[in-house]
Structure 1
Amino acid sequence: MVSPISPWPSGFEDLTRDELAVLVPELLLSGHLIDRSGMAYSIAAFGREGMAAVAIEEWQVASPVYTRRMQRALGFTGDSVETIFKGLQLDIGAPPQFMDFRYRVHDHDRGEFWLDHCGALADVEPMGEDFVRSMCHDIEDPTFDATALATNPHAQVRPIHRPPRVPADRVPVCAWTVTIDAAHVPPPTPPNFEIAANSRAAQLELDSIDPLDPGLADYTGPLLSDLRFADFSRSALVRMADEVCLQHHLLTLGFLIAVNSRTEPAAAIEIGRKQFTGIAGLTSERIRKALDLGDDDTALARVIGLHPAWNPLRYTGARIEVGEAGVQLRIPKRSDAVVDGTWPALIDATHLAPLDAMARGVNPRYAAQVVADDENELTIGFVRAAEPFAEAGEVAITRFSTGADFRFTDRGIPLPLTVV
């Protein structure tokens, strides 16, 4: 079932082109850090090997769905190595600069990529070689393939070298080949893939990009060494932002599917809420800083309205209001997001920790409280206490990632990567 077109515009519609160019890479990075938020609780519940299994399933289920969505949105559909690499540049699995993917295309069927910097490795190396192997071997092998297979069922991603690093400061940190060969037999469809493929998030219709808006309206040109988001039109950036937020929801759906298959429903929901709380707070903080916002009600309303938990608005149905009563968030109980069971479904009148964390990313004095609760909608208000609250443990755990303080830089004009 495809969601009906909603009267709501995009939650990013009132941003300028410059603001969107800053926000889109921030959203890509926050999507990547979802796993930093959930990893600790997966390890506690299932051990290191169980955590790896959860990560494999969540990415295998989610990434093919959102990869195809972004390809359609920006018009770079195809079955080549170049198409695979373009998809990676707009994937929360490979946020720009933090996961510094570099690419080389040999021809339609052969290419290479390597990472000059890997924020994920910087997070995991201090945990020891076993965790490095879990990420760089156990998790990467099936999930890189799953992403590539979304473009071509005969694609394979194979390592040239990868961590543990020898010597310890080896750069690039890893290198991989991508080969398309009709003799490659596609692996079986991952378990539970159809749940994500048939989700409301997968089928959501968003507004088309306006081809007359100044700037790039698509990514049909050559593969670029880096995406400079300021080169895209405002309309294209709005669509990118909504698509990246759907990547958050689809990855969370994959995470919850994997966790649910390994524990009791109540325990799975609790793990999901902790994951949501950790990433909610850190994402708010980064959005506020990136857009140079304040810490008052106006800033809070702005941050909540841009937060990936509540976007696309057409998916969540959320409404954010600011007035004499302060900031209020209205969460419908029958949205597509609730049907899918993603983040909005984890909030109810007695479970507001993710909202507390989200608000305290703007100002540590905010607290969420129930204003109204009926069969159709939950209304949350945000009040300021006299003293700041301590940071939630879930946010502190997520903050261990180097992504918490990562800063993007302007790399100048990107180069086209032509076939040699």
Structure 2
Amino acid sequence: MSSYAGLSRDQLAVLVPELLLCGHLIDRSGMAHTIGAFGREGMTAVAIEEWQLASPIYTRRMQRALRFSGDSVETIFKGLQLDIGAPPQFMDFRFRVDDHDHGEFWLDHCGALADVEPMGEEFVVAMCHDIEDPTFDATALATNPHAQVRPIHRPPRKPADRTPVCAWTVVIDPAHVPPAIPRNAALVANSVAAGLELAEIDPGEEGKADYTGPLLSDLRFADFSHAALRRMADEICLQQHLLTLGFMVAIRERSDAATALGIGRKQFAGIAGLTSERLRKCLDLGHDPHALATVLRLHPALNPLSYTGIEIALANSAVRLRFPHTSGAQTDGAWPSMLTADDLRPLDALVRGVDPRFVTRLAGTDQHGWTVEIDQADHPFREASEVAVTRFSTGAGFSFTDRGKPLPLTVV
């Protein structure tokens, strides 16, 4: 059961990189409110913990799904190409593989750096030094516990326009001591999201069913089969939920339950609205209830269906959205659990990414769940402040380009 099954292969090929980018922009929403609550140092600690808890889990999931499991540098690089931490082109990773145990990558463009550089050198150091050192190793750990990622050079840039913006080595050596397992790792590793089973990829469809074979300079998503793209989309949604679960673990460590939920809801609202807007544009949809229903069915906050259990239906000129009381997302405390019948503000932000006139209202509740009805008011509503904060990122207006046929990156 997948919301993405009804899309064409061409539509999925456009949608998958959008989902990766929107997953990356989660932190543009969440970290703004984290700075407000805990300061720059607290924000840095939260960012480190959320990525350490989430990235090893979802990296292994994608490796299994696309059958490129292994313990090599090449496997690490393939994982990065399908990671919300490294959306294509916005985080323009380039790779070189020397052998099984050695390689380099560099970024010809870094959207995250473009967002942070105007904030000053202290924030650049926090991102490119304090956060990247432990989180790059955590991502590599998913492939090989003896892999280490170390900088050749990195920001602050000197000169200010230096390119590539950073460069790193990846070395696998049995003498490397694996990084310590984070204290709260089990809280995310044992989540429903971490163990959720999704439909296998049918190898008989036209197009690539996996990512076996050589590492490619870029992933051209149109080369993959419909089934592979559908699985990628659902996995990327889980990446977003897992990252948010890690975020909430870190936030709860530093605040009371009510404060943590408030920050989580602000993070949800900010990314939900911007994601709706980008999904509507990338699929060339309108602003009517039919367009809203389509965006709701595809929105990563509400997917995969087997995790959220959410039902969407068109009723005359309104859209009805039903939330079950029991689901994997509710059990984990993921985004849908942050919505209540008494407070629908994150959902209002989400639907107004399609059209600013949409408004949500409770339509009914029973022993199994509750239903929201969404229709259009006569006048547009003001954009939520949480969405405006997230829009600060250059990713809000980023456009993907066709780079042509990718090249295989063979061992030098």
Alignment TM-score, normalising by the size of structure 1: 0.98
Displacement of 1:323 after TM fit? 2.1
Unaligned residue ranges in structure 2 (runs of 5+) = none
3-state DSSP of counterpart to 2:219: coil
**Structure 1 segment 339-378 matched on structure 2, within 5 A:** 339-378=331-370
Displacement of 1:373 after TM fit? 1.9
**Structure 1 segment 131-150 matched on structure 2, within 5 A:** 131-150=123-142
Unaligned residue ranges in structure 1 (runs of 5+) = 1-8
Q: Partners in 2 of 1:219 and 1:94 — Cα distance?
A: 17
**Structure 1 segment 19-418 matched on structure 2, within 5 A:** 19-324=11-316, 326-418=318-410
Q: Partners in 2 of 1:285 and 1:325 — Cα distance?
A: 20
RMSD, aligned α-carbons:
0.6
Provide Cα deviations, 1:50-81, integer angstroms capped at 9, x if missing partner.
Answer: 00000000000000000000000000000000
Q: Partners in 1 of 2:299 and 2:403 — Cα distance?
A: 26
Displacement of 1:325 after TM fit? 5.8
3-state DSSP of counterpart to 1:284: helix
Provide Cα deviations, 1:152-195, integer angstroms capped at 9, x if missing partner.
Answer: 00000000000000000000000000000000011210121111
3-state DSSP of counterpart to 2:6: coil
3-state DSSP of counterpart to 1:13: helix
**Which amino acid in 1 is paired with 2:25?**
L
Q: Partners in 2 of 1:146 and 1:351 — Cα distance?
A: 36
Q: Which residue is 1:3 aligned to?
A: none
Q: Partners in 1 of 2:372 and 2:106 — Cα distance?
A: 45
Equivalent pair of 2:3/2:297 in contact (CA under 8 Å): yes
**Which amino acid in 2 is paired with 1:190?**
P
Equivalent pair of 2:3/2:298 in contact (CA under 8 Å): yes
Alignment TM-score, normalising by the size of structure 2: 0.99
**Bigger shift: residues 137-146 or 368-377:** 368-377
Equivalent pair of 2:289/2:375 in contact (CA under 8 Å): no
**Which amino acid in 1 is paired with 2:65?**
A
**Which amino acid in 2 is paired with 1:134?**
A
Q: Which residue is 1:6 aligned to?
A: none
Displacement of 1:227 after TM fit? 0.2
Q: Partners in 1 of 2:182 and 2:383 — Cα distance?
A: 38
Q: Partners in 1 of 2:231 and 2:123 — Cα distance?
A: 36
Q: Partners in 1 of 2:99 and 2:132 — Cα distance?
A: 24
Q: Partners in 2 of 1:275 and 1:89 — Cα distance?
A: 25
Provide Cα deviations, 1:311-367, integer angstroms capped at 9, x if missing partner.
Answer: 100000011101226101111111001100010110001221111111111110001
Displacement of 1:388 after TM fit? 0.4
Provide Cα deviations, 1:257-302, integer angstroms capped at 9, x if missing partner.
Answer: 0000000000000000000000000000000000000000100000
Displacement of 1:20 after TM fit? 0.1
Q: Partners in 2 of 1:173 and 1:375 — Cα distance?
A: 54
3-state DSSP of counterpart to 1:368: strand
Q: Partners in 1 of 2:365 and 2:33 — Cα distance?
A: 30
3-state DSSP of counterpart to 2:96: strand
The percentage of counterpart residues that share the same residue type is 71
Q: Partners in 2 of 1:312 and 1:282 — Cα distance?
A: 19
Q: Partners in 2 of 1:126 and 1:79 — Cα distance?
A: 38
Provide Cα deviations, 1:69-115, integer angstroms capped at 9, x if missing partner.
Answer: 00000000000000000000000000000000000000000000000
**Which amino acid in 2 is paired with 1:303?**
V
**Which amino acid in 2 is paired with 1:139?**
I
Q: Partners in 1 of 2:56 and 2:324 — Cα distance?
A: 28
Q: Partners in 2 of 1:376 and 1:62 — Cα distance?
A: 30
Displacement of 1:374 after TM fit? 2.6
